[in-house]
Amino acid sequence: MFTNAKYAKRQTVFSERGNPMEFLSALQSKRLFFDGAMGTMLQSAGLPQGMLPDLFNLQKPEAVKAVHRAYLDAGCRILKTNTFGAVPLKLAPFGAATGDVAAAAVSLAKSALREAECDGFVALDLGPTGKLLKPYGDLDFEDAVSQFAAVVRAGAEAGADCVLIETMSDTYELKAAVLAAKENCSLPVLATLIFDEKGKLLTGGDIPAAVALLEGLGVSALGFNCGMGPAQMRPLVEELLRYTSLPIIVNPNAGLPRYEAGKTVFDITPDKFAREITLLAPSVTLLGGCCGTTPGHLAAMIAACKDIPLPSVTRKDTLLISSYGGAVAFGADPVVIGERINPTGKKRLQQALRENDMDYVLREGLDQQTAGAQILDVNVGVPGLDETILLRRTAEALQSVTPLPLQLDSSNPAALEAAMRRYNGKPLVNSVSGKWESLEAILPLVKKYGGGLVCLTLDEKGIPETAAGRLSVARRIIGEAEDRGIDRRELLIDVLTLPVSAGDRNGAVTLEALRMVREQLGVKTVLGVSNVSFGLPKREQMSAAFFTLALGAGLSAAIINPKSQPMMDALAACRSLAGLDPRCAGYIKRFGDSPEAPAPSGTSDLTLKEAVCRGLGAEAARLAGEAARSGDAMEVIQSSLVPALDEVGSSFEKGVLFLPQLLMSAEAAKKAFDALRPYLSSGEESGGPKIVLATVKGDIHDIGKNIVKVLLENYRFTVIDLGRDVAPEAILEASLREDVKLVGLSALMTTTVPFMEETVRLLAKEKPDCRVMVGGAVLTRSYADSIGAHFYAKDAMAAVHCARQVFGEA
Ligand code: B1M
């Protein structure tokens, strides 16, 4: 319902059915052209700056339809609805309802098609919510799903033919959007992402990770939009072609955006756009435009590309498993899956899980990562604990400190579903068996959420004794999976390792079954290797020998302890011997200087700096407390916390480390700081002169400001802390209200110091008796002078000196 009379000019909504089947068949048989930009076109039609374009569906429907008509006249045949920002979160402040806006948008696109008498399609457009999802931001995953679901329900009901999720820079939000589409309509789903020129997403993901996620979730086509022009997208398309088995979409901008006099400018002319796009067209099925493109660009592109033959879309055989930070490909090179996060026989881990000591689990994960694991198995099955909650929570915690993909390991389908749903990426799922009950429970989960699947060759009758028997169970699982639309490349057959101590032929049968599965079924394989040595002395020796034989039989992946030196030594040697290690580089790196493998540095003796860099909050707090007890807390900040954050900041800048890790380090630094706080405080009442303190507008960095606050309070100043992201007007208001003589401003980014300048200017005008001191890593004394600040403080202690000077205490 409309809650604001301004938008009450309701449209007549034509509720027709969409044509998903026709759309899918067109996707297979012809080149399809999307339209171009909507927002910039509406601006030319009078959309005021700062107004959400989606509101025009209700306010100025003719303007929206005119844009659609212009693109149809240019030859485009897929119209993106004007719903990029139609999620309730964005519309609510304007008093408009998603249902009305989305239904009107679809109706406008459909009526444009009807009026132009065109055979075209309407793509329900979903853009990002504009919020970061938890744990990195404050939007819960399920809330994100609900946001998108509201648009999908209304758009599908109004007759859209497909859903286009676009301009996504976070795989987690993308997953929420795809799930919302799959759960609320039966339309084909297409997705395009916004990568930087290095092929990275804002949250660190790369192209293989995006392919893994999207193909796992069952989208119909995928590709790129926005951010750059066609020429810059070429290398991205080449990379995408290596991994995807789906038709590719490319909707570039009219070149790289430039900022000029506060406006975004696009330089590429229609002819140049068309020329650049012809170089991509042979590999791309769906072409169109994004920001800065006009009907002129699209007309030129269509004229240039319409006769270029359609690419043939080829199925890739590689199994890809991913997390937010990247993907692991199962091919010729064996993959190491770390087995240590499994409480079976591990009392300390059981205790940690019972006591919710997540840091212990995270350290186990990080140690395995350091030792060479490429995927981490996560099994939290402890009697008496709710696995449905614990598996999800542990997976989420691990994903916040390591970019390694996870293998979700449980025999409880409800626990698997809860974790698979919230997992950021495409997990490996451990496991399904040949038992009917297991097939019925697990295969639908993999079909819905995506996932590589470990398939145990056992059934209602138990584990077949012979290799032929295990082959037959494997064949049955593959058949059932394929019948449910799961490609066999997604399956890893586990022919099961039984202890050789329990049966002389146990090792031999497993190796024989391994060979048969590979040769006769052509699928990939996995083994939990160490079980072979159970009950024997010198277990690692036996396990490593078996591992070598299994690798020789073509094993694709092994669930092992990566901290076991004999196992990892065997792997290094086998890779070289199998021709997987060019010039034996890996082998030499491992053994180069000494006959002994170097012990990988784990998390057992971390320094405070390392704990912060690795995002281990509890450990950082413990170490900070320890350091403060035996030294100077301020010194701990300067010598450990600041350098740690500098290090992660610089790795972030170099693209070695990404936002999720930056956030975890910031959280760890905060916990360490909280532990130091009691040692920084003098314990005396404040009651001294008042100082207003704030991080400026647009800036959410507040660690430094908080340190300044504690130190000022320590010197008995009364600090009125306005928090972070504070507008100049709010700072002025507080300064007038409290009649302070000193305001402290912090800013950490080049993009936010202009707001510092604005605040200084406002205070100088409206409260000229107030002094302003500024600080923050991005500032210099000369910059502080240039914006008219009275004082520059390079660190927290300098801030105290300034304050004492202002109040005549120095
Ligand atoms: Co961000 N971040 N960050 N970040 N982050 C920087 C600042 C950055 C330099 C990293 C990099 O690329 N190398 C970069 C800015 C680049 C630029 O200038 N353009 C950056 C970026 C780009 C971003 C995002 C845009 C990333 C993204 O989303 N793509 C985003 C911005 C969001 C926003 O603000 N709108 C973002 C987000 C974050 C986190 C949320 C993950 C987290 C902040 C958590 C928090 O503060 N609650 C974070 C962190 C931790 C950093 C780094 C790594 C560390 C900052 C820090 O806390 N330092 C930082 C890189 C770096 O600075 N090395 C970086 C430790 C702190 C004690 O030092 O604040 O300088 P500092 O304070 C010192 C002194 O400067 C002084 O005293 C303090 C103690 O000695 N001081 C004052 C500070 N304020 C003072 C005020 C005074 C006096 C002295 O008087 C009033």
Q: Give the model confidence (pLDDT) of 348-400 as tens digits.
A: 999 999 999 999 999 999 999 999 999 999 999 999 999 999 999 999 999 98
531 or 714, which is more confident = 531
Q: Is the C-beta atom of 125 inside 6 A of ligand 1?
A: no
Per-residue model confidence (pLDDT) at position 350: 96
- Best mutation site among 748, 752, 778, 801 for ligand 1 pocket (most ligand atoms within 8 Å of CB): 748
* DSSP state letter for 287: E
Expressed in angstroms and rounded, the spacing between residue 349 Cα and the centre of ligand 1 is 36
Lookup: tokens for 457: 């060759």
Q: Give the model's confidence band at 261: pLDDT under 50 very low, under 70 low, under 90 confident, else very high.
A: low
- Cα of first residue to Cα of last residue in the chain, in angstroms, is 63
- Intervals of CATH 3.20.20.20 along the chain: 319-588
Alpha-carbon distance of 5 to 661, in angstroms, equals 46
Flag whether pLDDT at 560 surpasses 60.
yes
Flag whether pLDDT at 540 surpasses 50.
yes
Parallel, antiparallel, or unpaired for β 452-456 and 491-494?
parallel
Q: Find out whether 373 and 562 touch, Cβ atoms under 8 Å.
A: yes
Q: Is the C-beta atom of 771 inside 6 A of ligand 1?
A: no
Q: Give the model's confidence band at 597: pLDDT under 50 very low, under 70 low, under 90 confident, else very high.
A: very low
Select from 248, 234, 376 the least CA-distant residue to 316: 248
688 vs 632, 715, 720, 733, 740, CA distance in Å?
A: 24, 8, 12, 21, 12
Determine which residue's CA is closest to atom 63 belonging to ligand 1.
646
Per-residue model confidence (pLDDT) at position 778: 86
Determine the distance from the C-alpha atom of residue 267 to the mean position of all C-alpha atoms in its chain, rounded to a whole number.
Answer: 31
Per-residue model confidence (pLDDT) at position 4: 42
Q: Is the C-beta atom of 623 inside 6 A of ligand 1?
A: no
Q: Give the model's confidence band at 685: pLDDT under 50 very low, under 70 low, under 90 confident, else very high.
A: low
Q: What is the CA radius of gyration of the chain?
A: 30
- What's the chain's length in residues? 810
Q: Is the C-beta atom of 653 inside 6 A of ligand 1?
A: yes
Q: Is the C-beta atom of 745 inside 6 A of ligand 1?
A: yes
Expressed in angstroms and rounded, the spacing between residue 702 Cα and the centre of ligand 1 is 7
Alpha-carbon distance of 155 to 18, in angstroms, equals 10
Q: Please state, for a pLDDT cut of 90, what percent of the chain lies above it.
A: 80
User: Can you tell me the mean pLDDT for 223-240?
Assistant: 96
Per-residue model confidence (pLDDT) at position 15: 47
Per-residue model confidence (pLDDT) at position 564: 96
Flag whether pLDDT at 686 surpasses 80.
no
Determine which residue's CA is closest to atom 66 belonging to ligand 1.
704
Most confident of 131-140, 207-216, 684-693: 207-216
Alpha-carbon distance of 267 to 250, in angstroms, equals 19
Q: Give the model's confidence band at 513: pLDDT under 50 very low, under 70 low, under 90 confident, else very high.
A: very high
The predicted-structure confidence for 159-201, as pLDDT tens digits, reads as follows 999 999 999 999 999 999 999 999 999 999 999 999 998 899 9
Residues 6+ apart with CB under 8 A from 506: 497, 498, 499, 500, 532
- Intervals of CATH 3.20.20.330 along the chain: 20-306
Lookup: tokens for 500: 């050789």
Q: Which of ligand 1's atoms lies nearest the C-alpha of 777? A: 70
Per-residue model confidence (pLDDT) at position 545: 97
CATH number of 319-588: 3.20.20.20
The per-residue DSSP string of 503-533 comes to -TTHHHHHHHHHHHIIIII--EEEEEGGGGG
Expressed in angstroms and rounded, the spacing between residue 748 Cα and the centre of ligand 1 is 5
Task: Give CB contacts under 8 A, 24+ apart, made by 361-364.
Answer: 361/394, 361/397, 361/398, 362/397, 362/398, 362/401, 362/402, 362/616, 363/602, 363/603, 363/616, 363/619, 364/340
793 or 7, which is more confident = 793
Flag whether pLDDT at 317 surpasses 90.
yes
Q: Is the C-beta atom of 708 inside 6 A of ligand 1?
A: yes
Parallel, antiparallel, or unpaired for β 428-433 and 286-287?
unpaired
The number of beta carbons lying within 10 Å of the beta carbon of residue 111 is 18
Determine which residue's CA is closest to atom 18 belonging to ligand 1.
749
Expressed in angstroms and rounded, the spacing between residue 677 Cα and the centre of ligand 1 is 20
Q: Is the C-beta atom of 35 inside 6 A of ligand 1?
A: no
User: Can you tell me the mean pLDDT for 319-332?
Assistant: 94
Written out in words, the top-level CATH class of the domain with range 608-679 is mainly alpha
- Intervals of CATH 1.10.1240.10 along the chain: 608-679
Range from 212-221, 301-310, 405-414, 746-755 carrying the lowest mean pLDDT: 746-755
Determine which residue's CA is closest to atom 40 belonging to ligand 1.
663
Determine which residue's CA is closest to atom 12 belonging to ligand 1.
653
The predicted-structure confidence for 88-121, as pLDDT tens digits, reads as follows 999 999 999 999 999 999 999 999 999 999 889 9
Per-residue model confidence (pLDDT) at position 716: 87
Per-residue model confidence (pLDDT) at position 262: 60
Select from 132, 126, 113 the least CA-distant residue to 23: 113
The predicted-structure confidence for 721-766, as pLDDT tens digits, reads as follows 999 999 999 999 999 999 999 999 999 998 889 899 999 999 999 9
CATH 3.90.700.10 is held by the domain 20-306: no
Determine which residue's CA is closest to atom 43 belonging to ligand 1.
701
45 or 127, which is more confident = 127
- Intervals of CATH 3.40.50.280 along the chain: 688-807
Range from 36-50, 621-635, 670-684 carrying the lowest mean pLDDT: 670-684
User: Can you tell me the mean pLDDT for 229-238?
Assistant: 96
Q: What's the mean per-residue pLDDT of the chain?
A: 92
Q: Is the C-beta atom of 797 inside 6 A of ligand 1?
A: no
Determine which residue's CA is closest to atom 86 belonging to ligand 1.
775
The predicted-structure confidence for 768-798, as pLDDT tens digits, reads as follows 999 999 999 889 999 999 999 999 999 988 9
Q: Which of ligand 1's atoms lies nearest the C-alpha of 637? A: 67
> Does pTM top 0.75 for this prediction?
yes
Cis before 135 (ω within 30): yes
Q: Which of ligand 1's atoms lies nearest the C-alpha of 749? A: 18
The CATH H-level superfamily of 688-807 is Cobalamin-binding domain (3.40.50.280)
Q: Is the C-beta atom of 666 inside 6 A of ligand 1?
A: yes
Alpha-carbon distance of 596 to 609, in angstroms, equals 29
